[in-house]
Amino acid sequence: MFNKIFSLLVVLVFVSACSPKTGTMTQQTKQPDPEAFRKNAPIPGAAPTIQLGDYETFTMDNGLKVILVESHNTPAVSFSLSIDQPPFMEGQKAGYSEMAGDLLATGTKTRSKAEIDEAVDFIGATLSAYSSGVYGNSLTKHKDELLSLMSDVLLNPTFPEKELAKLKKQKLSALQQEKDDPGAIAANVAGVLDYGKNHPYGEIVSEKTVENITRQDCVNFYHTFFRPNISYLVVTGDITLDELKPLAKKYFGDWKKGDVPKMDMPKVNFPDKSMVAFVNKPAAVQSNIKITYPLDIKQNSPDRIKTRVANALLGGFFGSRLNKNLREDKAYTYGARSSIGVDRYVTSFNAGASVRNEVTDSAIVQFMYEMNRMISEKPGEEELKRVKSVLAGQFARSMESKSTIARFALSMMKYNLPKDYYATYLKKLGAVTSDDVLAMSRKYIKPNQSYIVVVGNQDDVVDKLRKIAPEGGVQFFDNQGNKIEPPKRSMEGMSAQQVVDNYIKAIGGKAAVAKIKTIKTIAEANIQGQQMKMTFVSTDNDQSKVLVEAGGMVMQKIIYSKGAGVQEAMGQKQPLGKEEIEGLKESGVPVKEAHFAALGIKLVLKGIEVLDGVEAYKVVATSPSGKETTYYFDADTGLKMQEMTSKGGMTITSKYEDYKEVDGVKFAYKLTQLGVAPFPLEFKVTEIKTNLPLAEDEFKF
């Protein structure tokens, strides 16, 4: 027997039920004030109801559970097959489950990736695969072709080595970009603090773990977890049960059931006191704040609806307390939000915002103020009524989609929710009282047992944070969530000039550097599939040239010579501006650090910081025009690791790696630039030559 078709009665909105009082009709009856309705808020009345659609389910012989929600308004149908796999540790190969999912649609025993893509395009469908399933939709008339493709991808993947190599390359590029993303950094650190690196929710995918992934890892993941007996097929659209059953058997009936290993979740340690976890992002003009801690709330918890109300009040929608305080009243941020999660195993509380450096400490104080308000006082009736109205409206709007019914049915099956959970949702929502909100806040909102993660500029922020830090103080972390001990090296007796001199010594010494009169460097980069070639030529005679080529054509040319220059692109020449000329004057010399004094650049040693796990001297160089560039030099090797400049409100970061010797002087053969484009630009040097004879017209413009 299939589930009985059910219907839900839901409140769409809290509406007015006010009616004007009437009396005996006489000629002297006073006419109503046409503006009277504006003077008082409407009184909530009886809620209108709507009839929701139905769903039906059946279970196939192999254990695959099928949910159908019919909708014949449009001739289209969607199929979503999800694997209810348990979380597990991926260890030194973290990221391979994601890779395995992405590889599903890149090749089967009978089709290549190109053939799959062509077949999908031919019927105007969409098809996607991921680590926990496959999704597809198409016009109803193409449902057989779509299911044929879906089942082929699901049951016959080959995990091509070539496609894996592409995915790894893309992932490495994305990870490089995330290193400069404050939100991604904060999420990494929060995950480690909340759950620990030995928990599936806390482990981090890194360049090293991605490099370790093999095709066999992906194959093993697939054969371990892709089983019908832990899977659900949710079908929505223009199809009947009688049509679906034979199709499901035809395309998924041969999928073999199997045992899936049970995973023991590591114990999560809940913090007993608060602390500030700081990640240094040099030159950042904003701080990313994330207040977090682990929680235990299951989907079927009786607290769930009440916590939704409490969180909405705190920071769950635009009109929440946090947003009103930090955005509207204090103007610290464009938006402040919070969330109280829900999960079968373990979840977390999160609240956060991006704020200006100078108000980072003040913003944290206001976060704590609002969190403490939640646990110390009941909300007013009007405020509570408004919040519940917002949640009711959100719920009602979700009813506009047939997929909502399918999502509800899936949730009830997966998480053992009561059969009337959604039917009585708004009734339970309406019954939440201010006492309930206070009780839930005291149970789940913990201002004194939280991790306050801050990603920002250490120079501008840390001293202020120390003044407001809770008992746990300020602790430092890198972007992977590893705790950083304070630098042990002393700056006593060290100056900025000594740091620069040590760099010159590390790359070959003053004598070797002085011998370089001209230098030509060729570097290549792959930018979104486009191969780029850059050629740099500079001399100690105040001259330099840059060529950018793609596809054998010169895309851009910049020539500078003794205080003047032009840039040429697409056949159009334009004189260089004052700022460009200054930049080329500074960086155009063969080894600019050896010419700081001659260029009039002033140096200041700002301190020692841990950069990428290495203690580095931080030197700020100020040009005669006032432009500042920050340099980081490895305190052990003396080599330059990174430099940063600000331009047009953006910070451009250049990282230097892989030093190799050329004619007695070491040069970086790998340069990564952040802030120039939405993604990291990685250049690999293919050739460096020094003291080449240059043509007389080399710098002619």
Q: Indicate the domain borders of the chain.
A: 56-252, 275-484, 496-690
- Taking the domain 496-690, which CATH number applies? 2.50.20.10
Residues of the chain with pLDDT under 70: 1-53, 648-649
Beta-bridge mates of residue 451? 275, 292
First to last CA, the chain: 84
What number of other Cβ atoms are within 10 A of residue 303's Cβ?
17
CA dihedral 461, 463, 469, 473 (to 10 degrees): 110
**Residue 125: helix, strand or coil by DSSP?**
coil
Given this model, what pLDDT does residue 12 score? 30
Q: CA 233, CA 83: separation in Å to the nearest integer?
A: 9
Given this model, what pLDDT does residue 512 score? 96
Q: CA 162, CA 164: separation in Å to the nearest integer?
A: 5
Give the domain 275-484 fold. Cytochrome Bc1 Complex; Chain A, domain 1 (3.30.830)
Question: Do 56-252 and 275-484 agree at the fold level?
Answer: yes
Q: CA 536, CA 533: separation in Å to the nearest integer?
A: 10
Residue 121 backbone class (left: φ over 0; alpha: ψ -120 to 50; beta: rest): alpha
Q: CA 407, CA 67: separation in Å to the nearest integer?
A: 10
Given this model, what pLDDT does residue 34 score? 56
Tell me if 561 sits within 8 A of 575, measured CB to CB.
no
Give the domain 56-252 fold. Cytochrome Bc1 Complex; Chain A, domain 1 (3.30.830)
Strands lying side by side in the sheet with 126-130: 56-59, 65-70, 231-237, 76-83, 133-139, 126-130
User: Which regions of 491-601 does DSSP assign to beta strands (E)?
Assistant: 518-527, 530-539, 543-550, 553-561, 564-569, 572-575
Tell me if 304 sits within 8 A of 312, measured CB to CB.
no
pTM: 0.83
